[in-house]
Amino acid sequence: MINFEYIRTSTAKAAVDAKTKNKAAQFIAGGTNLVDLMKKGVTAPQRLIDINALPLKEITNDSRGVSIGALVPNSVAAENKLVMEKHPLLSMALNAGASAQLRNMATVGGNIMQRTRCPYFYDITMPCNKRQPQSGCGAMDGYNRMHAIFGASDKCIAVHPSDMCVALAALNATVIVNTTKGEKKIAFVDFHRLPGDTPELDNNLAAGELITAVHIPANHFNKSYYLKVRDRLSYAFALVSVAVALEVNDGVIKSASIAMGGVAHKAWRLTEVEKYLIGKGTTANVFKDAAEIGLKDAKTYQHNAYKVKLGKSAIVEALTKATS
C-alpha cells in the first residue's frame, strides 16, 4: 500500500471539489471494499476523502417514495421500519449480503460503488482488463465458475457482487448524484455499465461526482421475495440471485419487476419475463415458462453452464415464494 493523503470534508460541495482537484483521489465511507482493494494493490489512490461527516444518513418518505441517504449503513437500512413496510424486497436483499459486521460498516452509496470480486481482478499477477486495460481477461479461458452469462464481452466476463443493487434495480430506483453543476438523477438500471470494450468503467458516474441518496418510487407491489443461491449460508457472494416484485390482485399478476444477480456486470432486469407475466395467473406452469424465457439468451463458459439450470430453478422458486 502506497502513502496517501487523508482529508475529511463536511459538505457535499467540499467533497466534490476535493476530488475534482485530484483525479487520483477517492471517496471513503465504510471502506469495506476500498480498503481491501488498497491492501491487495488493486488500487492506489493518492488521496482519500472521508465523507462520513456529510449529512447523508437519513431515511425519509413522502408521496413520491422513499429516499435513503448514501451514508446510511446497510444494517440500518435493512432494519428500518419504513423500508421494511414500503419495500421489504430491499430489506431482504440487504440482509442477504455479507456478514452482520460488514453490514454495520458498509453504506448504501458504497454498496452501489463496490467493484467485482472476480479473483482475476484481485490477483495483480494475472491479466485483467478491468484492472489494467488491454492486458487480457484471465477468466475467459480460466476458472470461470462464478462469472457472467449475460451481457459479457470478450474483454470481461466479471459479475457485479451486490445483493442490494439487484433489489434496487427491480424497484426502479434512482441514484441521486451531486456534481459541480448541481444535482442530477440516474435511473438505477442505467447506473452500472456492461463491460463492452471498456470494462475498467464500472458505472456512468463522472469524475468528481458523489452519490448522495437513492430514491425508490412509490409502487403497488404487494408480493416480493429475494432469493440468493450461494455456496454457503453466510458471507458468500451469489452464484445466482433473483429479486421479484409483483402486483397481484385476485390471483392475477397486474405488474411485475424482476432482476437477477450473479449473472452479469450489473443487476440484470428480466424485461421479457416481466411482460410475459402480466395478466397471467400465479401457477407453476406460468412460472416455469417465465424461467425459460428469462434464461433463453444466456451465454455460458467452460465452468459456469450450471448457472442456466440454477437460474431457471431460482426464478421459479422466487416467484413461488413471493406469491405463496
Tens of pLDDT, residues 277-322: 999 999 999 999 999 999 999 999 999 999 999 999 999 999 999 9
Q: Are 238 and 162 in contact (CB under 8 A)?
A: no
Q: Are 254 and 248 in contact (CB under 8 A)?
A: yes
Q: Are 268 and 150 in contact (CB under 8 A)?
A: yes
pLDDT digits (tens, 9 = 90+) for 117-160: 999 999 999 999 999 999 999 999 999 999 999 999 999 999 99
C-alpha 73/C-alpha 120 separation (Å) is: 29
Q: Is 260 exposed, middle or buried (0-12, 13-18, 19+ CB in 10 A)?
A: buried
Homologous superfamily (CATH) for 223-323: CO dehydrogenase flavoprotein, C-terminal domain (3.30.390.50)
Query: Bridge-partner residues for 192, per DSSP?
Result: 203
- In the chain, CATH 3.30.43.10 sits at 5-52
- In the chain, CATH 3.30.390.50 sits at 223-323
Q: Supply 242's cell numbers.
A: 433473483
Query: Bridge-partner residues for 256, per DSSP?
Result: 246
Q: Of the candidates 59, 78, 79, 75, which has an alpha carbon nearest to the alpha carbon of residue 67?
A: 59
Work out whether the CA dihedral 34, 12, 69, 166 comes out positive or negative. Answer: negative
CATH of domain 5-52: 3.30.43.10
DSSP 8-class letter at 95: H
Work out whether the CA dihedral 199, 200, 202, 204 comes out positive or negative. Answer: negative
Q: Against a cut of 0.85, is the pTM above it? A: yes
Report the chain's mean pLDDT, rounded to a whole number: 97
Q: What are phi and psi of 270, to 5 degrees?
A: -100, 75
C-alpha dist (Å) from residue 261 to 1, 82, 242, 304: 31, 25, 6, 14
pLDDT at 1 > cutoff 70: no
